[in-house]
Amino acid sequence: MSEKGVILLSGGLDSATVLAYAIKKGFQLTALTFNYGQRHSRENNSARDIASRYGIDLKEAKINLSDLIESSLTGYGNVEHRRLADIESRIPNTYVPARNIIMISIAAGLCQTIEASTIFIGANALDYSGYPDCRPEFFNSMEQSINIGTGSDGKDRIRIEVPLQYLRKSEIINMGIKLNVPYELTWSCYEGGDEACGMCDSCQLRLRGFMEAGVHDPIKYSKYPEFYKK
Amino acid sequence: MSEKGVILLSGGLDSATVLAYAIKKGFQLTALTFNYGQRHSRENNSARDIASRYGIDLKEAKINLSDLIESSLTGYGNVEHRRLADIESRIPNTYVPARNIIMISIAAGLCQTIEASTIFIGANALDYSGYPDCRPEFFNSMEQSINIGTGSDGKDRIRIEVPLQYLRKSEIINMGIKLNVPYELTWSCYEGGDEACGMCDSCQLRLRGFMEAGVHDPIKYSKYPEFYKK
């Protein structure tokens, strides 16, 4: 029987790519998506569509983080827009305190329940918004914490795999194209509109990635940033 | 202004005692209670009553763990009853995988939101059911993970304080009596009945604690274990 894994599937480009990667590696996957009161809960629909396309089981965790944790993504103020060149300068107001900590914690409980060995997460630390819980040292520490906390110190040890960690967005996209990832089903935009806004960090990083990869982004944008040339 | 803290308040004896302890230490507290689909969600009422008695703000996290994580506390099978002497022999079916990991993660996000320095938790590793996420080495590791994950590496470092860690249940009760903890408002039983069952691990540990402390337990039990002498 193949090894079991849990994939944190937001519905975005990165996690969709990791899903395809983990399936290619032979894992029997369960997807875990989070409805935490995010303004772009539309990403949950994308997660469902992607899981369905791959025929894998999807579980949805519902948490009322918007009552507890302040972020522009949980309804406190507007998503800030800034120039791509400024993205690395500081942590933006789209940062949701402890989000990856919380998601990995719940994934760890699910792993222990279904006897999965591996948590897959699409975080990356190159073309990203500078969130502290996307840094490699966080995943190392968190892997230790979940293993001590679930008593999985032996051969049932749970691993956190972050395959995109050191890849640029364009490299992720090239990897995904080879794996036939259905990028038309993904949703990256922080706003919850009908079309992606093209202006938030997430849209800009995505569009630059497609541009650098020389590939057309199949989703619709209501606006394009200045740097973008189709 | 006094230092801010977040207390994980289940509504049980231990967390109520820690609440009184933290207030005595001068912390300005926010209580965080969890409705995760537990069969004894009645404890949430106790948490509300206790917070109200102390006049502190209470936030309620709602998570559908019963859809995700198997435990007799989240509706999978019955709570097992065993003799007190057997409690240390193995982890019981009331273990909720990763529960403390998840609760601390959410508390960390709340800390960062309200600028609290300390997470208080009523875990103890002497008179307990052997859950791996109650062990001291877990809290040490988890404290490191939440600080890396929230980027709180400097003077905004978040501490996890576990004041009952090395106390026996009777010592906790004696401490609580001195602090005037309203134990009549607390709820420890894993079953969700009108009166505590007296038979689950939690009831038995509690009753032995009161017996050893030589103090009357003010809550009602529908049955008492054999060892118990009023």
B136-150 average pLDDT score: 96
In this prediction the ipTM stands at: 0.93
Tens of pLDDT, residues A80-134: 888 887 887 788 899 889 999 999 999 999 999 999 999 999 999 887 878 899 9
B4-182, what's its fold? Answer: Rossmann fold (3.40.50)
| Both tokens assigned to A61 | 């965790």
Q: Which residue has the higher pLDDT, B105 or B91?
A: B105
Contacts of A166 (CB under 8 A, 6+ apart): A124, A125, A126
| Interface with chain B: mutation pick from A74, A137, A140, A141, highest number of B CBs within 10 Å | A141
Q: Which member of A132, A141, A150 has the closest CB to residue B98?
A: A150
Residues of chain A found within 8 Å of residue B100, distances taken between Cβ atoms? 149
B12 and B31 Cβ atoms separated by less than 8 Å: no
Q: What pLDDT does residue B67 have?
A: 92
Q: Which member of A68, A70, A104 has the closest CB to residue B61?
A: A68
DSSP labels, B55-107:
T-EEEEEEB-GGGT---GGGTSSPPP---GGGTTTS--TT--TTHHHHHHHHH
CA B72 to chain centre: 17
Give me the numbers of helices (H) and strands (E) for chain B, helices first please: 6, 5
CA dist., res. A13 & res. A177, Å (int)? 11
Q: Which member of B98, B110, B151 has the closest CB to residue A69?
A: B110
Q: Is the pLDDT of residue A154 over 90?
A: no
**Which chain B residue has its CA at the smallest distance from A96's CA?**
B109
| Interface with chain B: mutation pick from A59, A66, A69, A121, highest number of B CBs within 10 Å | A69
Q: Which member of A67, A102, A132 has the closest CB to residue B102?
A: A102
Band (pLDDT 50/70/90 cuts) for residue B89 is confident
CA B190 to chain centre: 12
Q: What pLDDT does residue B23 have?
A: 98
For residue A47, which of A31, A36, A63, A62 has the smallest C-alpha distance?
A31
Residues of chain A found within 8 Å of residue B91, distances taken between Cβ atoms? 151
Q: Which member of B100, B104, B110 has the closest CB to residue A68?
A: B110
Give residue ranges of B with CB < 8 Å to any A CB.
Answer: 32, 59-65, 67-70, 91, 96-102, 104-106, 108-110, 112-113, 132-133, 135, 137-138, 141-142, 144-146, 148-151
Q: What pLDDT does residue A229 have?
A: 81
Q: Is the pLDDT of residue A195 over 80?
A: yes
In Å, what is the CA distance from A114 to each residue of A109, B30, B71?
9, 34, 12
Contacts of B115 (CB under 8 A, 6+ apart): B4, B156
A142-158 average pLDDT score: 92
Task: Dihedral sign for Cα B105, B130, A6, A117, please.
Answer: positive
Q: Is the pLDDT of residue B80 over 90?
A: no
Q: Which residue has the higher pLDDT, B2 or B14?
A: B14
Q: What pLDDT does residue B76 have?
A: 83
**Which chain A residue has its CA at the smallest distance from B142's CA?**
A145
Q: Is the pLDDT of residue B153 over 80?
A: no
User: B88-93, long-range: CB within 8 Å, 24+ apart, which pairs?
Assistant: B88/B130, B90/B130, B91/A151, B91/B129, B91/B130, B91/B131, B91/B132, B92/B129, B92/B130, B92/B201
> Which top CATH class is A4-213?
alpha beta
CB-CB under 8 Å, A98 with B112? yes
Give me the numbers of helices (H) and strands (E) for chain A, helices first please: 6, 5
Q: What pLDDT does residue B88 have?
A: 74
Give residue ranges of A with CB < 8 Å to any B CB.
Answer: 32, 59-65, 67-70, 91, 96-102, 104-106, 108-110, 112-113, 132-133, 135, 137-138, 141-142, 144-146, 148-151
**How large a percentage of chain B has pLDDT more than 90?**
77
Burial class (CB in 10 A: 0-12, 13-18, 19+), B77: exposed
Type of residue found at A172:
I
Band (pLDDT 50/70/90 cuts) for residue A52 is very high
CA dist., res. B128 & res. B123, Å (int)? 8
Q: Parse chain A into domains and list their residue ranges.
A: 4-213
Tens of pLDDT, residues B167-202: 999 999 999 999 999 999 999 999 988 899 999 999
Q: What pLDDT does residue B10 have?
A: 96
Q: What pLDDT does residue B154 have?
A: 80
A205-210 average pLDDT score: 96
**How large a percentage of chain A has pLDDT more than 90?**
77
For residue B158, the SS3 value is coil
Q: What number of other Cβ atoms are within 10 A of residue A229's Cβ? A: 7
Residues of chain A found within 8 Å of residue B149, distances taken between Cβ atoms? 98, 100-101, 132-133, 138, 141-142
Contacts of B75 (CB under 8 A, 6+ apart): B37, B39, B66
Tens of pLDDT, residues B23-62: 999 999 999 999 998 888 889 999 999 999 999 999 999 9
**Mean pLDDT of all residues belonging to chain A:** 93
B199 and B225 Cβ atoms separated by less than 8 Å: yes
Contacts of A67 (CB under 8 A, 6+ apart): A37, B59, B60, B61
To 10 degrees, what angle do helices B169-178 and B201-213 make? 60
| Both tokens assigned to B3 | 């230092």
Residues of chain A found within 8 Å of residue B106, distances taken between Cβ atoms? 63, 65, 68-69, 98, 102
| Both tokens assigned to B68 | 């995700």
